[in-house]
Structure 1
Amino acid sequence: MKCPFCSADGTTVVETRESEEGHIVRRRRRCGQCEKRFTTHEQAEIQFPFIVKRNGSRTEFSHDKLAASLQLALRKRPVTAEAIDSAVSRIEEKLLALGEREVTSLQVGELVMRELKKLDKVAYVRFASVYRNFTDIDEFSEVIREISPVV
């Protein structure tokens, strides 16, 4: 594999870890020339389902779009990039486990909300407000009551 920093061919694997479910292998690599380290993720090539949007149009699943959605909701929140990557991987694994050729954007949104709820409550509310298209304060209050501990 070529180094993303200097394009040298000689990279070596320093560390290898499998995801919890064992479907993705995370490798830490080091360049033999510039000595910089980087991470790669290895997984089997599998056909993700098409996403059926609210307006009925269909689009290909996009790992980058999913990751960007999580990153936007988690912007300026104390969540590591590794935790975000793990959440994206879990969502992708759940989509694949469905075994469907098509899933609705609503299904994907619910998976994202479950992951955000585990990662960061503020990010969860941020995402929910846009995803569920809140129109008044009562809808915000309902989501906040849902995540607040009972006193």
Structure 2
Amino acid sequence: MGVYDFTVKKIDGQTEPLSRYEGKVVLIVNTASKCGFTPQYKGLQALYDKYRDLGLEILGFPCNQFGQQEPGTNKEIQQFCDLNYNVSFPMFAKVDVNGANADPLYQYIKKEAKGALGSRAVKWNFTKFLVDRKGNVVKRFAPQTEPEKLIAEIEEVLKLC
């Protein structure tokens, strides 16, 4: 089993099999519009612009579980991302990343790449999971890790080094 075995709901409500991204390197990020880390959208978009043609996809999953920092509807979230950060990477419907109602994708990736001290829970908005071309979760990055600090790892998984 790997990331590409899951089907998720896009921000417009349509379902999408993650197998669509098979053969790509994927960065999965839980996002929020009213968080101190929200400006990371700019860095994520810069990574996407720089590496998309080389095989990187960034998948944004809005989440309202941390300080109620993503209160909007999916439509409002999409508008916020478009207007404030010109986000062109795929955004998905709002999900829970922790707890009994955690999205199955997040249940899986948290198990595959544990956090500090072996914890599974996502600690805050903008936790990032890097997935290789075969759908294996290779690393988890803390919320405070700026997108530009991921370049070496992304290039390694893309095999650009």
Is TM-score (shorter-chain normalized) higher than 0.5?
Answer: no
Which structure: larger Rg? 1
User: What is the TM-score of this pair, normalised by structure 1?
Assistant: 0.24
- Whichever structure has more helix as a proportion of its residues is 1
Using the size of structure 2 for normalisation, the TM-score is: 0.23
